[in-house]
Amino acid sequence: MSRIGKKAVAVPAGVTVTLDGQTVTVKGPKGQLAWTVAEEIEVKQEGGELTLSKRSEGQRAQAMWGLSRTLVANMVIGVTEGFERSLELVGVGYRAAMKGNALSMQLGFSHEVDVPAPAGITFAVPKQTEVKISGIDKQQVGEIAAQIRRIRPPEPYKGKGVRYAGEKVRRKEGKKK
């Protein structure tokens, strides 16, 4: 049994949830998100909460039950609070700056790397070595953070590169004489 799927999703005040067949649309103060739930899952709105239940027994229905509940809960959190990922730039001369809506970074290449902000995502550079990525869609925020990290991932010998805030980079010992 899914322990996550059993929990109801609380809908706070100021958030509107619309059910249209299998499509769940969540509208809140930060924006609007929509997602189509799998056919095996049934979504019901009762008062100030959403409950998800399985329509059939089976391995796929079981898997989609917990997943669907988590994705709907993330949509509710996204339109009320939003999501944020922080990246750190570690290395001599590594820095970031804003160029309009785009993020411009110097990462030890012979050129600057510019990353345009997709719709619904905002970049912030509180310090030259710190980048904050925020938006209402958790998956999109995480994907953009991963793409930026992929440009110059942290290397194990000196630890230079782009890493998530608080990420521990496993260091290796260099050559010995």
Task: Classify residue 30 by its DSSP letter.
Answer: T
Give the three-state DSSP class for 114: strand
User: Is the CB of residue 45 less than 8 Å from the CB of residue 19?
Assistant: yes
| Model pLDDT for residues 122-169, shown as the tens digit of each residue | 999 999 999 999 999 999 999 999 999 999 999 999 999 999 999 999
What are the structural domains of the chain? 3-80 (3.90.930.12), 83-164 (3.90.930.12)
pTM above 0.75, yes or no: yes
Cα(107)–Cα(88) distance, rounded to whole angstroms? 12
Residue 64: both structure tokens together: 């989609």
